[in-house]
Amino acid sequence: MLQQFLNQLLHALKNLLPIVLVVVFFQLVIFQSLPSEPISIAVGLLIVAIGIALFLLGLELSIFPVGKNLANQFARKGSLPLLMFFGFAIGFAAVIAEPALIAVAEKAEQISDGRVNGLTLRLIVALSVGAVMVLGVLRIILGWPIHWLMIGGYIIVLLVTFFAPAEIVGLAYDSGGVTTNIVTVPLVAALGLGLASSIKGRKPLTDGFGLVALAVMVPMISVQLYGIWVYNFSSATVIALSATAPSQLHWLLNALLDLATMIKDILPMIAVVLVFQYIILRRPLPNPIKVVAGFAMVLLGLYAFVLGLKLGLFPVGTLMAEQLINKGFNSLILLFAFMIGFATTMAEPALIAIGNQAEEAARGKLKGSAIRLIVAFGVAIGITIGVYRIISGDSIHYYIIAGYLLVVVLTAFAPKYIVALAFDLGGVTTSEVTVPLVTALGIGLASSIEGRNVLIDGFGLIAFASIFPIITVMLYAIVVERFSTVRSKPI
């Protein structure tokens, strides 16, 4: 196990290297200065790497085998209502306490002066994800093609976007993006892959993926419908919120509070798993000591990861945004957006996990490392276009609608084996590494550029980070398929 941990740690350090290189390049070449606390940042990045290594090792010991085992047991039991109820419970429990969603909801409530209610927003998103898990389970069991669900769903998304107020569009797309975190994604993926492996006639690559994609798409619809109601029909009075500065607590106390919060965030999902395993199915966990050790590693890994973000990545993101805005060169801001989009995506633990699962399910058709490069390139393009939109002041409607229209068209032409995976990969890019830096960059730019509205222009970058990886992955599959077809033709 120690050897496995060291291998994961080396892998994590290699994945963080692009972020370090981007920061060093901008600090030494562009700004010609060093951060005020370089040692603290370096220690923070090392802790991030340790967190990722512990997290990935814990996944292999606990969440992946438990998720697949539950799916196998449900499939053998043959109870569709029970399986649907489990899907709803795990979807709702995973999202209602999602830290990234809580942060986005609180920020939206603050910026909108209380018109958007943070708790209501979280409940809408959690209920949407719970409902969509039921739909995803039905799709796998009944064998519905994922591409028809995605095409139909995004046509509805685009139609709703036409009528949604500008204040809610970016927030709605971002709310869909932050539902997929580094705990939710592996468990949901394990559930889908386990079901597809257990049902005769289903293929893991074609049928096992897609649950993450649905979990991203449906909240976009429900949150925009909520925004239409709030801004056009609701008679609720706007509540002015007063910002209160947090009390300055001791660093150790803050660290313990972070750990307690992390435990609280994971408990609902663990509770759902245990209730279904011991009370509904009435079967013990296979290898309970190994599973408990794995869950402990996941928890410690997440804690170290978040602690490292606060020490290393958060200060870097804030510092870089401030320096770029002060420089006033739009080309530099766009270059930073591209480079940091690529670098942070390469370090995403959820993407690493799904890339490995896709390589295993594809059996020689796909390489995990190639998938990550293509996805990272897509995220880099998306964030760059999103930043350009904020700088230019263009309406987000046109960019989002054009992007998803292209996605719908590509879905019709892409090889069927790649569709579900492509949409899932678009969801896993917006996790714990990317979201904080991207959100800070968007809100920082909207706050600093004259004539921009933070609520309208500050949100939306996460949406761009979700759209373009879907496009690049599908284009890659289309090109590879066409190339292989040409090569196989007799001369």
Q: Quick one: tokens of 174?
A: 């971002």
pLDDT exceeds 50 at position 207:
yes
Q: Which is more confident, 156 or 313?
A: 156
Confidence of residue 243 (pLDDT cuts 50, 70, 90): very low
| pLDDT value of residue 471 | 93
How much is the average pLDDT of 431-438?
65
Instruction: Specify the pLDDT at position 385.
Output: 94
- HSE-up of residue 179 (Cα within 13 Å, Cβ side): 40
- Coil, helix or strand at residue 367: coil
pLDDT value for 382: 92
Q: Quick count: other Cβ atoms within 10 Å of Cβ 223?
A: 26
Rg of the Cα atoms in the chain? 22
Cβ-based neighbours of 186, under 8 Å, separated by 6 or more: 59, 63, 64, 67, 350, 353, 354
C-beta neighbour count of 37 within 10 angstroms: 14
Residue 491 has pLDDT above 60, yes or no: no
Is residue 197 packed enough to be buried (19+ CB in 10 Å), middle (13-18) or exposed (0-12)?
A: middle
Bigger pLDDT: 464 or 70? 464
Query: Is 60 exceeded by the pLDDT of residue 217?
Result: yes
Mean pLDDT, range 3-25, rounded to an integer = 79
Q: At residue 256, does pLDDT exceed 80?
A: no
Helix locations, 275-367, DSSP H: 288-308, 314-327, 330-346, 349-362
Helix (H, G, I), strand (E, B) or coil at 302: helix
pLDDT of residue 475: 92
The mean pLDDT of 82-102, rounded to a whole number, is 76
Per-residue pLDDT tens over the stretch 93-116: 777 766 667 767 777 787 777 788
Q: How confident is the model at residue 377 (pLDDT cuts 50, 70, 90)?
A: very high
C-beta atoms surrounding 44 within 10 Å: 21
Residue 199 burial (CB count, 10 A): 17
pLDDT in tens, 326-367: 777 778 889 888 988 888 788 776 677 777 777 777 666 677
**The pLDDT of residue 307:** 77
User: Side-chain half-sphere of 233: how many Cα atoms within 13 Å?
Assistant: 6
Contact (Cβ atoms closer than 8 angstroms) between residue 208 and residue 192: yes
Residue holding tokens 């930043």?
387
